[in-house]
Every structure is written in C-alpha cells, then in structure tokens.
Structure 1
Amino acid sequence: MHQQAYESQCTAEEKRHETATSPIRNPRLALFALALGTFAIGTGEFGSNGIIQLFAADLDVSIPVATYAITAYAFGVMIGSPAITLLAARVNRRTLLLGLIVLFLVGNGLSAVAPNLALLVIFRFVAGSVQGAFFGAGAVVAAYVYGPGKGGKAFATVMGGLTVATIFGSPLATFIGQNAGWRAMYWAVVAIGLLAGVALVAWLPRTKDLRGGSVRNELSALRRPNVWLMVAVAALGISSIFAVYTFIGPFITDAAQQDASLIPIALAVFGVGMAVGNHLGGRIADRYRSRGLILGYGGVLIFLVLIGVAGSNLTVLLFCFFGTGATMMYAIPTIQVRLTSFAPDAPTLMGALNLAALNLANSLGAIGGAITLGAGWGTLSTVWAGVALTSAGLLLYVTTVGRERSAVA
C-alpha cells in the first residue's frame, strides 16, 4: 500500500515536471544554493559548541549553565521546526525557504548582540527553529530538481551542506570566535547566510509546482503509526553517533593519550566520513527500501565495538571515527525516503521530523555517554551506550516497519 502511494507520488511529480510553468535553467546552481543554505545552518549549529567557553566567560555564567543556549537550539529544531512547517503548509516551498533564511539571519544576528544568557537562549531557539523546516522544504525542492525516484539523492544533497559544515564550517567558525570574539563568530554565520539567501533568490526555480499543501494533509501524517515508529528508529539508532562525536576530545586526550591539537583533525576525519556516507547513502536509498538503514546501523555497531575494545590506539580511533560517521550517514537518507513513503502528502513535515529526530538523538547520545562516564566505566565507555541505543533502533526497525515485503531489503 505504501509502495503504491509512493509510486503515485512519483507519477504526480512526473506530471508536474511536464507541466512546469518555469523550467529549471540551472539545476546544479539550484542544488548548490540549497546546500549553501544548509552549510550556513550547520556552521551556526556546530560552531556554537566550539565557542561555549567564550560566551560563558563573557556573559559571566558557568559552562554547565551556558549549555542552555546549545540545548535551546536543539529544542528549536525539535519543537519550532515542525510548528513552522505546519503553519506554512500552504506556502510555496521556494517562498518558505526564503522566509526561513531571513529568520535564520535574524536569529543569528540577535545572538551576536545578546547582552545576557537569557536572551541568547531565546535567540538560539529562534535560529534552531529554522533547521528542520529548511531541510524538509529543501528536500522537496531538490527532489523536484532531480526528478521522480530520486528522493534519497535529493535529501543527501541537502544534507551535504551540513556534512561539509562539520569539516570546514565549524572549525573555521571556532577559529574566528577564538581570535575575534564569540560575537564575531555569529556575524560570520550571518555573512554566510546572506550569501545563501542571495543564491536562493537567484537560482531556486519559480514555479507553482512547488506550491504547498493543506494543513489537514500535514496533520493526517501525524496520525500514522509508521511515521512515529520511523522517528523512534531514527532517534534511537542515530544517537550512537553523538555518543562518539560529543566525546571526541576526551577520546583523543584521555583514552589515546594524545595532544589536544589533534582534536580538530579528529573532528575533520569524522566529518569526511559523514560526507562520504551521505553521498553513498543517498544513492542506495533510492534503490533499496531497507538496505541503507540496516547496513548503516550494522556498520556503526561494528565500529563502536572496535572503539570500545581498541580505541586507545590512535590509528584505530581515527579509522573508527571515519567509519562511524560514514556508516551512520549511510543510513539517514533511507530514513527520509521511508518517512516520505509513509506520508507522501507531507514531505516537508517528514523532513522536519527527521531533523527533529536527529536532534533528539543528539541528546540521547550525550545523556547515554554521560551516564556511563558517571558510573566510572572509563572514557571509552560512552560507545557502549551507543551500542545499546543503536541496537534498540535496529531491533525496532526490523520487527516493525522493516518487515514489509520488498524485492530487495
């Protein structure tokens, strides 16, 4: 039934392409504009983690209290993005993306001038509320550009900007913050966002084919059990990546007994793995219903065990950083395609829910790792929390929505 619905959606997409009122003159530039937007968003998100000590000192609060600003961003993604998506259900996706980039500029610009932590928390929530909605609408536009049957590749393209942000954007933003002040970091993010906005205005297609749908259709998707099962599969399974990424610093300095100067290199290695996995995962998601998720989650478990057993060796650790990032990102486009197949009439909301699940996974991974560390099980013990969470996500998938018959799993 879901496959028929998905095929019907593809047929509708084909018809929309045939009747497009405004042909796509520069499809590559349109895709680049979308990726540049997610690069700006990712740089602002990950860059904030790198300057937490700076704004904590400047605003005269402790680091634990300063983390409220980071948490507020995550709540913005989990709560604000789905809300915006529903409120803007009827808005043309191009118009929605332009409005979201403006809100992104406002959130980060206000963050740069926040006089105290309370206002910074509010402004980070505003900035975070853009993320999921932008990824959801961006995936719809990218799917239109690519054509029918390329939903996984489209989502991977949009996610590509985020993965590149982990390699270049976050380290650069942190460097700017360390040398010019934490407020300068947010102004740099605003500058990148302005470039993305100009690119979106110039290169996104102007067409009625990207018109929104009814709020009723979007809300009806939330009544489908398989949608929430996939959200749970994503939140549980992806959490392991954060049980590693959150603790890369201690892994390098404490477990592997290496200098802290290697931490940026380790982060970059992890980011390269994410970029590679995202690219391959987008292709596999369009060909196979479950293979990307099962292989991705299974691969993550192998690399987590390797870290837990031999992570004190720097070579093994770096290899596993790359592998963990690659295998997890290999699974994420399949999650998006499956979500959309369960609710083909609400693709933007499904994209927002996918990003909300990613941010919930961020919290679960960090909390799980903190529990094992607090229990005194050692620095590398955080990976075992990841093993438990991803195993739960994989088990939930194969026993529920993953049991549906398909030609090739």
Structure 2
Amino acid sequence: MPFALYLLALAVFVMGTSEFMLAGLLPAIATELDVPVGTAGLLTSAFAAGMVVGAPLMAAFARRWPPRLTLIVCLLVFAGSHVIGATTPLFSILLITRVLSAFANAGFLAVALSTATTLVPGNQKGRALSILLSGTTIATVAGVPAGALLGTELGWRATFWAITILCVPAVLGVIRGITNTAGQTVAGASSPRLRAELRQLATPRLILAMALGALINGGTFAAFTFLAPVVTEAASLAEGWVSVALVMFGIGSFLGVTIAGRMSDQRPGMVLAVGGPLLLAGWIVMALAASHPAALMVLVLVQGFLSFGVGSTVITRVLYAASGAPMMSGSYATAALNIGAAAGPVLGALGLATGLGLLAPVWVASALTAMALLIIFLAGRALTETDAEVNR
C-alpha cells in the first residue's frame, strides 16, 4: 500500500480523536461554561450533523481543487476551529467551532476517501479504506483515553490545544506524501459534472449500500454511546472499567477493519453473509448477558470486531456503487457513516426514555442490525457485484 495512505490515516486519527473525545469532557465543559450537561451534549450532536451536511457540501464546493490543496485547507480550518474553541469563554462560540470543525473533518474524509481509491488498483478499494479507517479505530484505542486523561489533569481546554498541535504533523504529512498529481483522475477535467455525480444518488445499488451503512453504524453508535452505564450499573463494575471497555472495543474495531479490508474487495458477500448474522447475535447476547462482567468484556471486543468489520465492508460497497461519481463518492460514504452516527445515539436515548432499562440502546442496535440483514437478504448480489458485472 502507498505510504501516502498511512499519512492520510494519521490525519483521520487526529480528527477521530477530536470527534470522540468530548464523551469524557462534557461535565467539565458544562461546569466551566455554566450550561447544563444536556446542553453541553449539543456539542456532540452539532459535530455529527456538521459531518452529515458538510461531506457533500465540501466535496461539491472543492471538487475542482487539487486534492492536496483541499486536504490542507480542511486541516487548517480544523486546527483553527480548535484554537478558537480552546480560548473562547462562550458556549455559543464553542458550538459554532464544533460545526466548523465537523465541516472540515467531513470535507477531509470525503476527499481522502476519493483520493485513496486513485492511489491503489481498482480492485483494492477495500484495503485502502481499511487503512484510512484504522485512524479512527486507533483514535478510540489511544487518542480518546489519552484525551480524557489530559482533560482530567490539565482541563478540557488542554485537549483542544493537543488536537491543534497534532494537526501540524498531519499537515506536513499531506504536503510531503500527497503529490500534486495524486487523485488527478478525481479532480481532473475528465471527471463528470456535479449534476451527473449527484444523479448517482438515484441508483438503487448506491441507495441500498448507503442505507445499509447508516443502519450498521447507527446500531454501533447506539450501543457504544451508552456503554458506560452498562459497564458500571448493569455489570456492577467500577468506573475505571469503562476505559477498559472502550479500549477493548477499539482493539476489536481495529482488528475488524484490518481483516475485513483484506476481504471486502474479493469476498464482500461472505463478509456480509457471515458477519451480519454474527453481529446481530452478538448484540442480542450482550443484552442478555450484560450482568456478567467477564462475558460483557468479551462481547465488547467481539462486537467492536464485527461492527467495524461489517461496517467497513458496507462502506466499501458505497465506493464501488458510486464509481460513476469519482469526486463525490467519498462524501456519500462519509454521509452514510455519519447519518448512522447521528441517529444511533438519538434512538438509543429514546429507548432509555421509554423506560426499557439500561440495555435499551443495545436492543436498538439489535433492531437496526436486523433491518440491515433484511436489506442484505432482499438485495442479494446487487450489493456485492463488481463494476464489471454491473456494466456487462
């Protein structure tokens, strides 16, 4: 794999750390800025919403820019947003910076996904995607716990400064590793017009792949967002075990992305046919066995592996299905991921509000995964066939 992919993954790691780090910082932010914790939670929702809207908007706005320029601009906007966030005394300004950083994150990821597919042979999109997404999974293993520790010791603003500093090597990596000609087939004059690329959204193959990605990721985030109370209350473990569970989930997700990335190009049908039912079974078993600490920790690892393995394979299918939209395909994949990331926690919270208990989000994950499996069953080969088979 080209070294440039690993440099892009470094930037995705930095952005992924920023996206997830607020989970452990909200109480401190709420106290210092004098807002309720529920209001502070809007920072997470604003980021997710910004990602959904920002991916297609940024990709469309900068579609004629050289990919390296777009990636650098997105990183600089991302870093600048964190500087403002680290210094503002106003919650409203902090909320705006989260939306801006989400737009920059979405634009970077959308262009990075599209560019990555031009750096590898046409039949290795899955492996390229797995390298990029490994930045996110490593963020959950190392970046988020480190950010939480830094916030505890030095205050939440220190974590924003740390993200800003980490953007420096990411920018240098893009400058050094992404040449002016990288992704030229994406940004070149021969690429389709924007209207033609947007028409791809009406194709059943792409609609199915995006819906499937949103459902799988929605289930993952429904359960992941509310994992802490499951660990401390359902399993009756000390709060320190929450970090252990998060790391276990991160390790599983890294392994899932890495292994699935080697299979999703050549054997996507097998990954979905085997991994999908196992993912559903895992959520159900977790809901039933969460009161047993050892079983819960094993299941957290396994579900991280399955959810990101199946999820990354589905997102690879989005890229294949959107091959007629070379500049916008990455934004479609990013939007599908973040629709799930935004909707999953909301549905999980609604489950909790109905009085179904602490494990309601896990049952929500089960329901969303079951819906995804129904789509896989009904779609058949439409999701897994190659471009050559479609055009035959």
TM-score (norm 1): 0.88
Question: Which residue is 1:8 aligned to?
Answer: none
Aligned partners of 1:148 and 1:342: how far apart in 2?
13
Question: What does the per-residue CA deviation read over 1:95-119, in whole Å, with 9 as the maximum and x for residues that have no partner?
Answer: 2211211121122222212221111
Aligned partners of 1:315 and 1:78: how far apart in 2?
36
- Preserved contact between residue 58 and residue 106 of structure 2 (Cα < 8 Å): no
Rate the CA distance shift 1:38–1:307 in 2: closer, same or farther, 3 A.
Answer: same
**2:133 is aligned with 1:159:** yes
Alignment of 1:374-393 (within 5 A): 374-393=353-372
Superposition deviation, residue 282 in structure 1:
0.9
Question: Which residue is 2:300 aligned to?
Answer: 321
- Preserved contact between residue 205 and residue 382 of structure 2 (Cα < 8 Å): no
**2:175 is aligned with 1:198:** no
Counterpart of 1:52 in structure 2: which amino acid? L
**2:39 is aligned with 1:76:** no
Give runs of ≥4 in structure 1 deviating > 4 Å.
401-408
Alignment of 1:265-304 (within 5 A): 265-304=244-283
Rate the CA distance shift 1:244–1:215 in 2: closer, same or farther, 3 A.
Answer: same
The number of equivalent residue pairs is 382
- Preserved contact between residue 227 and residue 342 of structure 1 (Cα < 8 Å): yes
Aligned partners of 1:144 and 1:233: how far apart in 2?
24
TM-score (norm 2): 0.92
Aligned partners of 2:182 and 2:172: how far apart in 1?
21
Superposition deviation, residue 349 in structure 1:
2.3
- Preserved contact between residue 304 and residue 387 of structure 1 (Cα < 8 Å): yes
- Preserved contact between residue 251 and residue 301 of structure 2 (Cα < 8 Å): yes
RMSD: 2.0
- Preserved contact between residue 43 and residue 166 of structure 1 (Cα < 8 Å): yes
Larger displacement relative to structure 2 (40-49 or 111-120)? 111-120
Counterpart of 1:83 in structure 2: which amino acid? L
Question: Which residue is 1:15 aligned to?
Answer: none
Q: Which one of the candidate residues 30, 39, 43 is aligned to 1:56?
A: 30
Aligned partners of 2:19 and 2:290: how far apart in 1?
27
Superposition deviation, residue 402 in structure 1:
4.4
Alignment of 1:20-59 (within 5 A): 28-59=2-33
Percent identical = 28
- Preserved contact between residue 274 and residue 325 of structure 1 (Cα < 8 Å): yes
Aligned partners of 1:100 and 1:125: how far apart in 2?
13
Q: Which one of the candidate residues 90, 99, 102 is aligned to 2:73?
A: 99
Larger displacement relative to structure 2 (97-106 or 34-43)? 97-106
Superposition deviation, residue 328 in structure 1:
1.1
Question: What does the per-residue CA deviation read over 1:62-110, in whole Å, with 9 as the maximum and x for residues that have no partner?
Answer: 0001111111111110001210001111122222211211121122222
- Preserved contact between residue 52 and residue 66 of structure 1 (Cα < 8 Å): yes
Superposition deviation, residue 208 in structure 1:
6.2
Superposition deviation, residue 185 in structure 1:
0.7
Unaligned runs of 5+ in 1: 1-26
- Preserved contact between residue 281 and residue 332 of structure 1 (Cα < 8 Å): no
Question: Which residue is 1:119 aligned to?
Answer: 93
Question: What does the per-residue CA deviation read over 1:163-199, in whole Å, with 9 as the maximum and x for residues that have no partner?
Answer: 0000000111111111111111111001111111111
Q: Which one of the candidate residues 169, 174, 181 is aligned to 1:207?
A: 181
Q: Which one of the candidate residues 49, 54, 61 is aligned to 1:87?
A: 61
- Preserved contact between residue 132 and residue 354 of structure 1 (Cα < 8 Å): no
Secondary structure at the aligned position of 1:258 is classed as coil
Superposition deviation, residue 386 in structure 1:
1.0
Aligned partners of 2:62 and 2:359: how far apart in 1?
44
Aligned partners of 2:228 and 2:383: how far apart in 1?
41
Superposition deviation, residue 28 in structure 1:
4.7
Question: Which residue is 2:209 aligned to?
Answer: 230
- Preserved contact between residue 30 and residue 205 of structure 1 (Cα < 8 Å): no
Question: Which residue is 2:146 aligned to?
Answer: 172
Superposition deviation, residue 381 in structure 1:
3.0
Question: What does the per-residue CA deviation read over 1:331-375, in whole Å, with 9 as the maximum and x for residues that have no partner?
Answer: 223223322222213244222222222222123322232233223
Q: Which one of the candidate residues 140, 157, 163 is aligned to 1:189?
A: 163
Question: What does the per-residue CA deviation read over 1:111-141, in whole Å, with 9 as the maximum and x for residues that have no partner?
Answer: 2122211111111001111223322322233
Question: What does the per-residue CA deviation read over 1:187-236, in whole Å, with 9 as the maximum and x for residues that have no partner?
Answer: 10011111111111111133165251332343222332332232221112
Larger displacement relative to structure 2 (384-393 or 291-300)? 291-300
Rate the CA distance shift 1:404–1:247 in 2: closer, same or farther, 3 A.
Answer: closer
Secondary structure at the aligned position of 2:202 is classed as coil
Secondary structure at the aligned position of 1:236 is classed as helix
**2:121 is aligned with 1:147:** yes
Question: What does the per-residue CA deviation read over 1:358-406, in whole Å, with 9 as the maximum and x for residues that have no partner?
Answer: 2221233222322332232222232111111111122123213645685
- Preserved contact between residue 119 and residue 182 of structure 2 (Cα < 8 Å): no
